[in-house]
Amino acid sequence: MDIGADRDESHSPTVAQVGEFGVIDRSTRGRIQSSHTILGPGDDAAVVAAADGRVVATTDMLVEGRHFRLDWSSPIDVGRKAVAQNGADISAMGARCTGFLVALGCPASTSVEVTDGLSEGFWREAQRAGASIIGGDLVQSEELVISITALGDLEGRPPVLRSGARPGDVVAVFGHLGWSAAGLAVLEAGRSGHAALVDAHRVPAPEYEQGVSAALAGATSLTDVSDGLVADLGHIAQASSVSVDLNSDLLDTGSEIVSAATDLGVSVLSWVLGGGEDHAFAATFPRTARIPDGWTVVGHVSGPSGAPMVTVDGEPFSGPAGWSSFDGSTE
Amino acid sequence: MDIGADRDESHSPTVAQVGEFGVIDRSTRGRIQSSHTILGPGDDAAVVAAADGRVVATTDMLVEGRHFRLDWSSPIDVGRKAVAQNGADISAMGARCTGFLVALGCPASTSVEVTDGLSEGFWREAQRAGASIIGGDLVQSEELVISITALGDLEGRPPVLRSGARPGDVVAVFGHLGWSAAGLAVLEAGRSGHAALVDAHRVPAPEYEQGVSAALAGATSLTDVSDGLVADLGHIAQASSVSVDLNSDLLDTGSEIVSAATDLGVSVLSWVLGGGEDHAFAATFPRTARIPDGWTVVGHVSGPSGAPMVTVDGEPFSGPAGWSSFDGSTE
């Protein structure tokens, strides 16, 4: 479905005109459920396989103006991002995604072009994660609100918690760090260019299978980087009662982000260490583990001497403390 | 926790003052997870038992001013209602609730008295359903939005679908019908009294185990009554390609609802047949089945002669068609 083709005509009907059941029909018609789905949308509830007798579950809510802007991102991008940030949380337990539920609140005046685009984005990203949209709800609200629940399968393995890091472990990361924050800064500054960073902000693209790879390699702790590397490693340090030291020389800053930092006069490390929403992964591994391909060792874990903390090159990190939902910012 | 005691003081801090993690801490501290929970809140995702290798899942969103009003209902009532309407969908598959996830969006100025009350309501109703709150999210939004996902266990049974009704089956219901609509009408009219009806509107109290009872008794189809009896039986008729005829003499109208109908000059049957949000249950059973205790036979299923439809005493129902999310009403 290419909803972009209709965009210039502006003749798209509204959600009120099409009605609740019409919008739901447009979003489910012709969709093919994944092999995990035993019963898809259309009854009081869905049924999903949970082969090893357990299900992993997480939920995240996104609000227009705070978590996304439709003048910066297409509806498809927003739909993908909403599913991606939930799917990344499933991967961050060492699990595979098996299904997603979507609750959507929107004004009656919302164009079905927007709901069609969101739906297309939900589906595209759910399929990237190896799953599908198994159910949902559509209600009227003043602002556009998306709430996603992701389900996952541990395939017989124990979940990889935040609390398992041990002194002597190494810290490794997978994925671009700071790209989403850099892309947001480019958009906020009204700059052109830096497309890779802007794209990373619009649609994080978690490599979902890396959570399983980390689990299979013996990761002692694992999280996705949603609040910022230092903040998320802080959650691991706190839960594991350890401290983490990062070696800034080992962090891959890459030419894209250095170029944007120079352009905007910002410190690269403030993005790499403090920027959220990348949905990269951070894990700790025993020193003897074979670190999976594509992961980079960026630090080490030490024992509890005083309060658990995260340092960079042995010093406290003085940059942004990470994302918080009630800090007064608008994105 | 009796948050009502603080209400007159108006010295309760706001969510912005307490912060995201402070509010989450207040809502999770000291809570005891149910036996279904393998890993509760605090990591990237929760883990819940799914003993028979499948999980039932459903989601519903509630928006202030449209699905509830805090001048009519306490935060505890609203929290209970949000969980109840999702838990009833799990029961309506013939399953038992195993866990609930809660995503909450609220303005920064929201009093923590409200979030504490909602949390207390979420927990009370989750425990009534035999489960607990296993995870959630808290974000800033302009209006108060609650999105719940419920998970459930079929205990080895097939799910009871809407599509299994067969000609010759009987139709039976469990629970009060029309009470929520009557209670809403009392509130909208600004009347006093009719406390049982108003309470039923504020907090539906599904008898969750009746879904399992219906399944064990051999129900061929099952749904909860959320949109209105005729509308919800219409979903069964449509999915099963059958017609349903209700016998109005068999519908229990009871003295409470008759009294309110007289008071407001409304037809009792318009509430009983058209009123939503009761989260009673409606099912079809083979004529030879032993109908579970407490269920009332109210009609029968006939074969497809023309389009599937629901009739009352052989005539089309001319009352309200049932709840729709985009019909312009405010509740």
Per-residue exposure over A213-237, b if at least 16 CB sit within 10 Å of its own CB, e if not: bbbebebbbbbbbbbbbbbbbbbbb
Nearest CA in chain B to A107: B326
The tally of CA atoms less than 13 A away on the side-chain side of residue B223 is 26
Q: Which residues contact A203 (CB under 8 A, 6 or more apart)?
A: A73, A77, A80, A81, A84, A125
Residue A43's φ and ψ, nearest 5 degrees, are -110, -165
The nearest alpha carbon in chain A to B224 belongs to: A44
B chain contacts of residue A90, beta-carbon cutoff 8 Å: 44-45
pLDDT at B328 over 60: no
Please write the tens of the pLDDT for every residue from B176-194: 999 999 999 999 999 999 9
Is residue A329 over pLDDT 60? no
CB contact under 8 A, B57 and A149: yes
Indicate if the pLDDT at residue B6 is higher than 50: no
pLDDT single digits (tens) A95-137 = 999 999 999 999 999 999 999 999 999 999 999 999 999 999 9
Q: Cβ of A59 and B325 within 8 Å?
A: no
Q: Is B90 on the interface with A (CB under 8 A)?
A: yes
- Span between the terminal Cα atoms of chain B, in Å: 29
CB contact under 8 A, B16 and A43: no
Dihedral of alpha carbons B296, B153, A101, A162, sign: positive
| A58 assigned to a ligand binding site | yes
Of B126, B44, B37, which Cα lies nearest the Cα of A55?
B37
Q: Assess whether pLDDT exceeds 60 at residue B321.
A: no
Q: Which amino acid is at A229?
A: L
The pLDDT-based confidence of A306 (bands split at 50, 70, 90) is confident
Q: Strand, coil or helix: what is A124? A: helix
Q: What percent of chain A has pLDDT over 90?
A: 87
* Mutation site for A-interface testing, chosen from B35, B43, B235 by largest number of A Cβ within 10 Å: B43
Answer whether residue A39 shows pLDDT above 70. yes
Q: What does the buried/exposed string (b/e) look like for A84-111 if buried means 16 or more CB atoms within 10 Å of the residue's CB?
A: bbbbbbbbbbbbbbbbbbbbbbbbeebb
Rg of chain B over all Cα atoms, to the nearest angstrom = 20
Give dist(CA B8, CA B197) in Å, integer: 27
SS3 A322: coil
Q: Do the Cβ atoms of A146 and A82 come closer than 8 Å?
A: yes
DSSP 3-state of A229: helix
Average pLDDT over residues B10-25: 89
**Which candidate, A33, A34, A111, A30, places its Cα nearest to that of A74?**
A111
Lowest mean pLDDT among A17-21, A47-51, B218-222: A17-21
Q: Shortest CA distance to A61 belongs to which of B143, B282, B117, B57?
A: B143
∠ at Cα A102 (A39, B331), nearest 5°?
110
CATH architecture, domain defined by A162-316? Alpha-Beta Complex (3.90)
Contacts of B53 in chain A (CB under 8 A): 49-53
User: Confidence class of residue B54 from pLDDT cuts 50, 70 and 90?
Assistant: very high
Q: Which residue has the tokens 């059958």?
A: B242
CB B184 within 8 A of CB B331: yes
**Cα angle at A49 between A45 and A51, to 5 degrees?**
150
pLDDT in tens, A222-262: 999 999 999 999 999 999 999 999 999 999 788 999 999 99
8 Å CB contact of A141 and B108 = no
User: What pLDDT is recorded for position A324?
Assistant: 60
Note the pLDDT of residue A7: 42
Facing B59 at nearest CB: one of A20, A51, A136? A136
Q: Residue B323 — pLDDT band, cuts 50, 70, 90?
A: low
pLDDT band at A276 (very low <50, low <70, confident <90, very high): confident
Residue from A68, A75, A132 nearest A100 by CA: A132
Spatial separation of the C-alpha atoms in residues B67 and B216, rounded to whole Å = 33
The verdict on a CB contact (< 8 Å) between A56 and B47 is yes
Residues B40-67, mean pLDDT to the nearest whole number: 97
Tell me if A66 and B140 make a contact (CB, 8 A cut-off). Answer: yes
Q: CB A140 to CB B89 under 8 A?
A: no
Q: What is the pLDDT of residues B234-262, one digit of tens each?
A: 999 999 999 999 999 999 788 999 999 99
Question: Which residues, at least 6 apart from A243, have a Cβ–Cβ distance to it below 8 Å?
Answer: A237, A301, A302, A303, A304, A305, A308, A309, A310, A311
pLDDT tens-place string over residues A194-227: 999 999 999 999 999 999 999 999 999 999 999 9
Q: Tell me whether the CATH fold assigned to A3-153 matches the one assigned to A162-316.
A: no
A9 and B CB contact within 8 Å: no
- B17: tokens are 């003052």
Asked whether residue B99 carries a pLDDT value surpassing 70, the answer given is yes
Long-range CB contacts for residues B181-186, cutoff 8 Å, separation at least 24: B181/B228, B181/B271, B181/B274, B181/B275, B181/B276, B181/B277, B181/B278, B182/B256, B182/B257, B182/B260, B182/B261, B182/B266, B182/B271, B182/B275, B184/B277, B184/B331, B185/B260, B185/B264, B185/B266, B185/B271, B186/B260, B186/B264
Instruction: Give the integer Cα–Cα distance in Å for A84 and B212.
Output: 35
Query: Number of CB pairs < 8 Å for A and B?
Result: 232
What value does the mean pLDDT of chain B take?
92
| A288 annotated to a ligand binding site | no
- The ipTM (two decimal places) reads 0.93
Flag whether pLDDT at A319 surpasses 80.
no
The reported pLDDT for the residue numbered A13 is 95
In whole angstroms, what is the distance from residue B253 CA to residue A265 CA? 72
- Do residue B46 and residue A57 have CB atoms under 8 angstroms apart? yes
pLDDT at B2: 40
DSSP collapsed to 3 states, B154-211: CCCCCCCCHHHCCCCCEEEEECCCCHHHHHHHHHHCCCCCCHHHHHHHHCCCCCCHHH
As given in the structure block, the two tokens for residue A153 are: 């399968």
Contact B55/A at CB under 8 A: yes
User: What's the N-to-C CA distance of chain A in angstroms?
Assistant: 29
Fold designation for A3-153? 60s Ribosomal Protein L30; Chain: A; (3.30.1330)
* Neighbouring residues of B53: CB distance < 8 A, sequence distance ≥ 6: A49, A50, A51, A52, A53
Query: For residue B38, which residues of chain A lie inside 8 Å, CB to CB?
Result: 54
Lowest mean pLDDT: which of A160-164, A311-315, A321-325?
Answer: A321-325
What per-residue confidence (pLDDT) applies to A327?
56
Region B149-157 average pLDDT? 98
Confidence of residue B7 (pLDDT cuts 50, 70, 90): very low
Residues B314, B316, B322, B328, Cα dihedral to 10°: -170
Looking at residue B331, its pLDDT comes to: 34
Which tokens hold the place of B289? 């089945």
Q: Which parts of chain B fold into alpha helices (H)? A: 15-18, 20-28, 75-91, 112-128, 179-188, 195-202, 209-216, 229-240, 254-264, 268-274
Partner-chain contact A51 B53, CB within 8 Å: yes
Q: Which residues pair with A245 in a beta bridge?
A: A300, A311
pLDDT at A9: 44
Alpha carbons B67 and A135: distance in angstroms, whole number: 20
> Six-digit token pair at B122?
């979420």
Taking the C-alpha atoms of residue B60 and residue B147, their distance in angstroms, rounded to an integer, is 6
Residue of chain B whose Cα is closest to the Cα of A142 = B143
- The per-residue pLDDT for A321 is 57
- In chain A, what residues touch B154 (CB-CB under 8 Å)? 47
* Collapsed DSSP state (helix, strand, coil) of residue B266: coil
Mean pLDDT to the nearest integer, B148-154: 98
Sign of CA dihedral A97, A103, A105, A110: positive
Q: What's the pLDDT score for residue B330?
A: 35
Bridge-partner residues for A63, per DSSP?
A: A145
Residue B307: which residues within 8 A CB-CB, separation 6 or more? none
Whole-angstrom CA distances from B32 to A279, B134, B148 are 31, 10, 19
Interface of B with A in 262-301 (CB under 8 A): none
- Is the pLDDT assigned to residue A293 strictly greater than 60? yes
Identify from A155, A326, A329, A330 which residue to disrupt to test chain B contact, counting B C-beta atoms within 10 A and taking the largest count: A326
Residues in chain A with CB shorter than 8 Å from the CB of B326 are: 15-16, 19-20, 108, 140
CB B194 within 8 A of CB B186: yes
**In this complex, is the C-beta atom of B158 within 8 Å of any C-beta atom belonging to chain A?**
no
What is the C-alpha separation between A113 and B308, in angstroms, rounded? 32
Which residue is it, tokens 């469990």? B174
Instruction: Provide the residue count of chain B.
Output: 331
Average pLDDT over residues A42-69: 97
> What mean pLDDT is reported for chain A?
92
Mean pLDDT computed over A39-58:
97
Q: Where are the domains of chain A?
A: 3-153, 162-316
Cβ partners under 8 Å of residue B212, min gap 6: B91, B94, B95, B96, B155
